[in-house]
């Protein structure tokens, strides 16, 4: 089975969030299960710098008006295909924004070109390899099935995965003539969305199957509260909608081998975890190591409930806890957290920015990973927390609800609990969950049981990759039915 995966960020070449982790780890897990995967992504500056022995396979003289080529490189067992288009991707800033954090103005063209290249690979193959199926991730890959429907690859199945339905890739109608699509596609059953062009909507309309990254989120996006305007469309395609929970790369995230933490430890040899706890306290300038250390590794946004967090920051200190935050995002939230850290020196620490090694140390040295999201398609930091013994306190929504077992009486008695859930996302409900966590932390046996249970949980890709492989097989079988 030959599958082309298309995504705008793929770890370890480029990452801004969970999409990269998934778009990197899932193909690796599927390869291990015998699927012949190739992974297409844009050749941003950092990607080009990391490529090992790239081989040029195809040249485009006019890819939606720009010249480009596709380079192949195999790294860590994964076959990467990189769209090298300097006019689109060789520039300063991040994958989506410039150095001043404003969206690149030609994002529509940058990602339309990615999709046009993916469709061309599906149509003509590359290097004597033609995919049986294409797996497109999020809006940036959304036009892939739209282009494919217009040509020779119209019958090739496409799986469209929604990692966050809040990001839809919506642009003014003026871009439409430059996408190289027939006018008929600019319609309600195509990519037209309230007079605009929506990449995600187009992708969902044309995909053979839609998946999202947890069963609960799959249900939630069928409602107006979570569907962000696309709930009607999702309901219309409910018979092809699947919720498959994300796994994590258990090689990258393994406390027994992780080189980014202060000392390695494991379920059977947990003692050295304390060394990480001390290192974390030092890093954040905590005065002592008393009380639970609450950690947050997150985009600092409304979605992530960071405004609610800022409202309980003083309470965390009053309860005898510490708070360590790593993230960046909305200026107002950054300012509110900065103010909280200034109010409580030695007790609340804040690092604004993006720091992969520190994110590992925080999981290894924290006591609680706090995820108060208003909505969360899957969430990965709570899964890293489970694996590292950093007990999750999470909002009961999306993938958080699916992956954490609340320490209620029954689950605790059965020794099945792995963390704490709360709902709704309000300061009061969060405070109550924090109190429960502080109480459990004060009983070492109870806490050790929670940590053990989490560290034992299977958060690998094995099961979920198998589910994707089964879905691919089903779609290919349906396609070959007369």
What residues make contact with ligand ADP under the rule CB under 6 A?
17-19, 21, 164, 297-299, 326-328, 354-356, 359, 378-381
- Give least dist CB 301 to ligand ADP, A: 9
- Give least dist CB 19 to ligand ADP, A: 6
- Give least dist CB 255 to ligand ADP, A: 15
- Give 57 or 279: the residue with its C-beta nearer to ligand ADP: 279
- Give 158 or 213: the residue with its C-beta nearer to ligand ADP: 213
Angle at 342 between CA 340 and CA 344, to 5 degrees: 70
Strand partners, 299: 328
Contacts within 8 Å (CB) and 24+ apart, 220-228: 220/375, 220/397, 220/398, 221/162, 221/165, 226/165, 226/375, 227/165, 228/165, 228/166, 228/168
- Give 72 or 380: the residue with its C-beta nearer to ligand ADP: 380
- Give 254 or 355: the residue with its C-beta nearer to ligand ADP: 355
- Give 87 or 355: the residue with its C-beta nearer to ligand ADP: 355
- Give 19 or 197: the residue with its C-beta nearer to ligand ADP: 19
Distance of CA 233 to the CA centre of its chain: 23
- Give least dist CB 351 to ligand ADP, A: 8
- Give 308 or 319: the residue with its C-beta nearer to ligand ADP: 308
Strands 368-371 and 348-352: unpaired
- Give 101 or 479: the residue with its C-beta nearer to ligand ADP: 101
- Give 157 or 327: the residue with its C-beta nearer to ligand ADP: 327
- Give least dist CB 327 to ligand ADP, A: 4
- Give 53 or 259: the residue with its C-beta nearer to ligand ADP: 259
Chain position whose Cβ is nearest to ligand ADP: 18
- Give least dist CB 244 to ligand ADP, A: 14
- Give least dist CB 328 to ligand ADP, A: 6
- Give least dist CB 293 to ligand ADP, A: 17
- Give least dist CB 17 to ligand ADP, A: 3
SS3 string, the chain, reads: CEEEEECCCCCCCCCCCHHHHHHHHHHHHHHHCCCEEEEEEECCHHHHHHCCCCEEEEEEEEECCEEEEEEEEEECCEEEEEEECHHHHCCCCCCCECCCCCECCCHHHHHHHHHHHHHHHHHHCECCECCCEEEEECHHHCHHHHHHHCCCCCCCCEEEEECCCCCCCEECHHHHHHHCCCHHHCCCCCCEECCEEEHHHHHHHHCCEEEECCHHHHHHCCCHHHHCCCHHHHHHCHHHEEECCCCCCCCCCCCCCCCCCCCCCCCCCCCCHHHHHHHHHHHCCCCCCCCCEEEEEEEECCCCCHHHHHHHHHHHHHCCCEEEEEEEECHHHHHHHHHHHHHCCCCEEEEECCCHHHHHHHHHHCCEEEECCCCCCCCCHHHHHHHHCCEEEEECCHHHHHHCCECCHHHHHCCCCCEEEECCCCHHHHHHHHHHHHHHHCCHHHHHHHHHHHHHCCCCCHHHHHHHHHHHHHHHHHHHCC
- Give 18 or 292: the residue with its C-beta nearer to ligand ADP: 18
- Give least dist CB 154 to ligand ADP, A: 32
- Give least dist CB 418 to ligand ADP, A: 17
């Amino acid at each position: 089975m030959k599958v082309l995966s298309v995504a705008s960020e793929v770890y370890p070449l480029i990452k801004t969030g969970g999409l990269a982790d998934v778009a990197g780890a899932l193909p690796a897990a599927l390869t291990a299960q015998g699927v012949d995967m190739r992974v297409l992504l844009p050749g941003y500056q950092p990607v080009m710098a990391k490529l090992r022995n790239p081989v040029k396979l195809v040249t485009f003289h006019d890819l939606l008006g720009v010249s480009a080529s596709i380079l192949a490189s195999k790294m860590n067992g994964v076959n990467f295909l990189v769209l090298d288009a300097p006019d689109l991707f060789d520039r300063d800033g991040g994958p989506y924004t410039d150095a001043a954090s404003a969206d690149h103005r030609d994002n529509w063209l940058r990602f339309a070109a990615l999709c046009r290249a993916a469709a061309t690979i599906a149509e003509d193959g590359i290097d004597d390899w033609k995919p049986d199926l294409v797996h497109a991730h999020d809006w940036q890959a959304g036009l892939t099935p739209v282009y494919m429907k217009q040509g020779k690859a119209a019958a090739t199945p496409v799986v469209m995965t929604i990692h966050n339905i809040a990001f839809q890739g919506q642009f003014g109608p003026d871009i439409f003539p430059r996408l190289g699509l027939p006018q008929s596609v600019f319609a309600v059953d195509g990519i037209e969305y309230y007079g605009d062009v929506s990449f995600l909507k187009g992708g969902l309309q044309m995909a053979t199957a839609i998946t999202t990254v947890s069963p609960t989120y799959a249900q939630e996006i069928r409602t107006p509260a979570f569907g962000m305007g696309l709930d009607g469309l999702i309901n219309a395609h409910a018979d092809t909608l699947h919720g498959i929970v994300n796994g994590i790369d258990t090689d990258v995230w393994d406390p027994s081998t992780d080189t980014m933490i202060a000392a390695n430890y494991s379920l059977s040899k947990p003692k050295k975890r304390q060394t990480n706890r001390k290192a974390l306290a030092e890093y954040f300038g905590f005065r002592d190591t008393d009380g639970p250390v609450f950690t947050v590794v997150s985009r600092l946004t409304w979605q992530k409930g960071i405004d609610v967090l800022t409202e309980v920051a003083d309470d965390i200190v009053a309860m005898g806890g510490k708070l360590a935050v790593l993230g960046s995002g909305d200026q107002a939230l950054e300012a509110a957290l900065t103010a909280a850290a200034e109010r409580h020196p030695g007790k609340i620490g804040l690092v604004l920015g993006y720091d992969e090694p520190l994110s590992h140390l925080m999981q290894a040295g924290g006591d609680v990973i706090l995820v108060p999201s208003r909505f969360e398609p899957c969430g990965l930091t709570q899964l890293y927390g489970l694996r590292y013994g950093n007990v999750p306190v999470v909002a009961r929504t999306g993938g958080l609800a699916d992956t954490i077992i609340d320490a209620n009486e029954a689950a605790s008695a059965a020794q099945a609990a792995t963390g704490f859930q709360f709902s709704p996302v309000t300061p009061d409900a969060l405070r109550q969950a924090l109190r429960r966590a502080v109480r459990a932390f004060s009983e070492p046996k109870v806490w050790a049981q929670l940590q053990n249970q989490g560290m034992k949980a299977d958060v690998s890709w094995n099961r979920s990759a198998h589910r994707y492989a089964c879905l691919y097989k089903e779609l290919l079988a349906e396609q070959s039915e007369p």
